[in-house]
Chains A and B, each alone.
Chain A
Amino acid sequence: MPSFGEFAQFTVAGLISGSAYALVGVALGIILSVTGRFHFAFMFTYAISAYAAAQVGESYGFSFWPALLFGALVGTVFGVVIEAMVYRPLAERSGAYTLLVIFVASLGLTIAGTNLIQLIWIDSASKQISGFTNAGYFIWGLDLTKLGLIQVAIAWTLIITLGVVLSYTALGRVVRAVRINPEMSLVVGINPRIVFLQVFAIGSFMGGVAAVLNATQTAAKPDMGFTPLFYAFVVAFLAGLGSHPVRVGIVGLAVGLVESWSALFMSTRWTSLVVFGILFIYVALRPVNWSDVRRRRRRQPVTV
């Protein structure tokens, strides 16, 4: 039976990791819910952001925050390019098979991209993000790190900002319109192509930020995006596609907590299984009402 101190510590750890899961869940969630693209290559834009940040710090002496921004922007560019040059052309010509075709292409991009990263940075097994000096604090009997607090702060700042943008700005209104009723958005004159690009930019940016923070904590590795992609799917689907970012974020926190608390009872090697298991059970047992989202997506006009 864990002590209260242990429990509190693991809870803190869960909140920190949960915030990271929240961020990627929101990022992938907005892409999935608005565009319907099975964007596996999120794993790639995630990783390339971390590598770009690490490299620019190493080669050009960027300090931490500019490197973080740079890395996230690189990921953003890749995300937008993938939508514009791969997904959209495929969607325009694949009709009923669009989902599958885009998934296969996305898978291909991921494999090619991830291994390209490994090839380019072949001389280093992993890369460090420089310029960040961590610090430890001991508050209320809990061990906290500066990095952990920053991760939580940034994640939630971004998540809440997105929520505000979606609810109170013109851009947010348009994005939600496309998500809720693609036909009507065409009717009122919205250009869904542009909205798709904007959404990919937002999602890739947020993912990139999460990646750099992740790499700061450990290191950048070519396949570092696999587990976050997975967790992002879990969080996004558990929360429900199209949910408010804060709600998705809370589900992310919940996943982080469940994972962390299970470490109290089992070896950490097994805790990721808990999350994978959650996804397996969720997918297996959910009622077949994915048709709502499918219906929404099927109504999506191919192009205009």
Chain B
Amino acid sequence: MEQHDEQTVVTNESGTGIVSDDLLVVSDLRAGYGKKHVVFDVDFHLRRGEIVTIIGHNGAGKTTALKTIFGMLPTLGGTITYSGEDVTTSNCRHNALLGMSYIPAERFVFSDLSVLDNLRLGATHVRSAEERDRLTERVYEMFPLMSERSSQLAGTFSGGQQRMLSLGIALMSNPTLLLLDEPSLGLAPALVAEIFDNVRRLADEEGLTVLLVEQNVKQALRIADRAYVMRSGRIILEETAEEMGRRKDYWDLF
């Protein structure tokens, strides 16, 4: 098990304890699918307002870790603490209410529904219609294309546009933590930069904390503050984005 510079203290079960500016603390996480364990003894933490990226080869367990944090997969060991609260056994609905939002790597929109319906679904937990409209307007401001084509079916948009929409959907729940899974997947290189710029902009403007899983190391490092590297289910390295960006290549990390 790796030791990090200890800026945080993991809270105990009753929620008391010393909490620093860490929004998310993951400790000794073990995760997988039934018998197939994919993540082994993983530790990391996110401070509020940070953009942290997890990079690593396909199948390293990055998506599994993300899904487990969000509650889509059961935790097989370890703890997850969010904003001081133990969410190790929480399901996604509870985590969504707490302010987590997850954007999958594939099939990240409701393709047979309109843009507006997609956004409305993102606001499933929003109580008042006014609040929902306000959030919708905010998304439209950020992504004018969505406003123009709000009744168009999501599946008819290009890959990059669908990605934008997925960001919009996530924003509709007014999240505090954004869990982003491989936003560059399947996108033409030109669009990739644009998506990442949007993520950075959102994080800055909305004060979002972002945990970003990526294969496209260069782009991720462009917007991230810190980076973890996973290989075969374990974290093998943690560096600042700057440090990692200075590396010549990443072959030995993958």
Is there any pair of Cβ atoms, one from A and one from B, under 8 angstroms apart in the complex? yes
Identify the A interface with B (CB < 8 A): 95, 170, 173-174, 176-177, 180-181, 183-191, 242, 299, 301, 304
Chain A residue with the shortest CB-CB distance to B107 = A181
Interface contact B110-A180, CB-CB below 8 Å = yes
Interface contact B92-A189, CB-CB below 8 Å = yes
Interface contact B122-A183, CB-CB below 8 Å = no
Given A186-B72, A188-B121, the answer on whether A180 and B93 have CB atoms closer than 8 Å is no
Given A173-B117, A301-B72, the answer on whether A188 and B96 have CB atoms closer than 8 Å is yes
Inter-chain contacts of A176 with B (CB < 8 A) = 110, 112-113, 117
Interface string of B93-111 (1 = CB under 8 A from A): 1001100011110011111
In this complex, the member of B96, B109, B113, B124 whose beta carbon has the largest number of chain A beta carbons within 10 angstroms is: B124
A126 to chain B, nearest CB (A): 43
Assess whether B91 is interfacial by the CB under 8 Å rule. yes
B194 to chain A, nearest CB (A): 22
Chain B interface, number of residues (Cβ within 8 angstroms)? 28
How many Å lie between the Cα of A204 and that of B152 in the bound state? Answer: 32
Interface contact A189-B110, CB-CB below 8 Å = no
How many Å lie between the Cα of A299 and that of B102 in the bound state? Answer: 17
Inter-chain contacts of A184 with B (CB < 8 A) = 104, 107-110, 121
Inter-chain contacts of B92 with A (CB < 8 A) = 186-187, 189, 304
How many Å lie between the Cα of A170 and that of B70 in the bound state? Answer: 25
Interface contact B169-A189, CB-CB below 8 Å = no
B181 to chain A, nearest CB (A): 10
How many Å lie between the Cα of A185 and that of B92 in the bound state? Answer: 10
Partner of A187, one of B102, B112, B113, B117: B102
Inter-chain contacts of A299 with B (CB < 8 A) = 107
Inter-chain contacts of A183 with B (CB < 8 A) = 72, 104, 107
Assess whether B163 is interfacial by the CB under 8 Å rule. no
Interface contact A191-B93, CB-CB below 8 Å = yes
B169 to chain A, nearest CB (A): 7
Interface string of B212-240 (1 = CB under 8 A from A): 00000000000000000000000000000
Chain B residue with the shortest CB-CB distance to A179 = B112
Could you jot down 22 A-B contacts, CB within 8 Å? A173-B117, A173-B121, A176-B110, A176-B112, A180-B110, A180-B112, A181-B107, A181-B111, A184-B104, A184-B109, A184-B121, A186-B92, A187-B70, A187-B92, A187-B102, A187-B103, A189-B92, A189-B125, A190-B121, A242-B112, A304-B91, A304-B93
Interface contact A177-B72, CB-CB below 8 Å = no
Assess whether B120 is interfacial by the CB under 8 Å rule. yes
Inter-chain contacts of B109 with A (CB < 8 A) = 181, 184
Inter-chain contacts of A304 with B (CB < 8 A) = 71-72, 91-93
How many Å lie between the Cα of A287 and that of B91 in the bound state? Answer: 39
Interface contact A189-B93, CB-CB below 8 Å = yes
How many Å lie between the Cα of A126 and that of B127 in the bound state? Answer: 51
B200 to chain A, nearest CB (A): 22
How many Å lie between the Cα of A304 and that of B92 in the bound state? Answer: 8
Assess whether B173 is interfacial by the CB under 8 Å rule. yes
Interface residues of B in 98-145 (CB under 8 A from A): 101-104, 107-113, 117, 120-122, 124-125
Given A183-B107, A186-B72, A189-B125, the answer on whether A173 and B113 have CB atoms closer than 8 Å is yes
In this complex, the member of A177, A181, A188 whose beta carbon has the largest number of chain B beta carbons within 10 angstroms is: A188
How many Å lie between the Cα of A185 and that of B113 in the bound state? Answer: 12
How many Å lie between the Cα of A59 and that of B109 in the bound state? Answer: 53
Interface contact A189-B113, CB-CB below 8 Å = no
How many Å lie between the Cα of A55 and that of B177 in the bound state? Answer: 57
Inter-chain contacts of B71 with A (CB < 8 A) = 304
